[in-house]
Amino acid sequence: MSAITRVWLADWEWQCCGEAFAVGDDIDFGIATRSPHLALADTLGPVLVETVDAIESHHEDDFVDRVRGRVLQVHAVTREVVERRSLRRPGHGAPPTAVMPPAGEEWPLIRHEWGNGVGAWVGARPSRYVVEVIPLPDTAVLDPVDGVRLPAAEGEEAPPSFAVPAEDPPPERRTRSFMGWLVDIDEH
């Protein structure tokens, strides 16, 4: 007999070392708990957190509790946040004597490779701003996706542009922030 189980996968945990999978794949998740914690309720909101049956983890111990089965659906979870920018105070960021690149040139970038095809472009550009991110309660949204950590299109990803904007960013803006995935599994 099979049952549908909804499992939470945290973004921070899967960004570094979670294996890619797609809808239709068979999976085997280690389960940290079957009781969603208060932080997850804050992230998802009171209604959506009630739909979560288990929380996956693969950074702690070898979990005895497992969810094994076929992936039926994957939903990317985002929530609305307010980003507030304020100028850095002296001593909290790049020193005032930091050498800026000439006008029109970008800050140097370094590609870091962590193995298994995981890497990122890291810029050396210091920011003039401190950014405070304030989550807005009960704004989680589910977007259906084909899977988790699926490879991007063919070819190497181009480094992001770090060109300094012509004008200062607004002191406050609303945006959506990616939190993780809800995965529905036909458990067997």
Q: What is the largest CA-CA distance in the chain?
A: 67
pLDDT band at 100 (very low <50, low <70, confident <90, very high): low
Is residue 168 over pLDDT 70? no
Report how far residue 75's alpha carbon sits from residue 128's, in angstroms, rounded to the nearest whole number: 35
pLDDT band at 160 (very low <50, low <70, confident <90, very high): very low
Q: Which residues is 110 bridged to in the sheet? A: 122
Report the chain's terminal Cα–Cα distance, integer Å: 7
Name every residue whose Cβ is closer than 8 Å to that of residue 88 and which is 6 or more positions away in sequence: 94, 127, 128, 129, 130
pLDDT digit string (tens) for 34-73? 998 888 999 999 999 999 999 998 766 678 899 999 999 9
* Residue that the structure tokens 């549908």 belong to: 4
pLDDT band at 134 (very low <50, low <70, confident <90, very high): very high
**pTM of the predicted model over 0.85:** no
Phi then psi dihedrals of residue 30, to 5 deg: -80, 135
Query: Helix or strand or coil: residue 98?
Result: coil
Structure-block tokens of residue 7: 């499992």
Report how far residue 143's alpha carbon sits from residue 140's, in angstroms, rounded to the nearest whole number: 10
* Residue that the structure tokens 């996956």 belong to: 56
Is residue 23 over pLDDT 90? yes
Positive or negative: CA dihedral 146, 147, 150, 152: positive
Structure confidence at residue 110 (pLDDT): 57
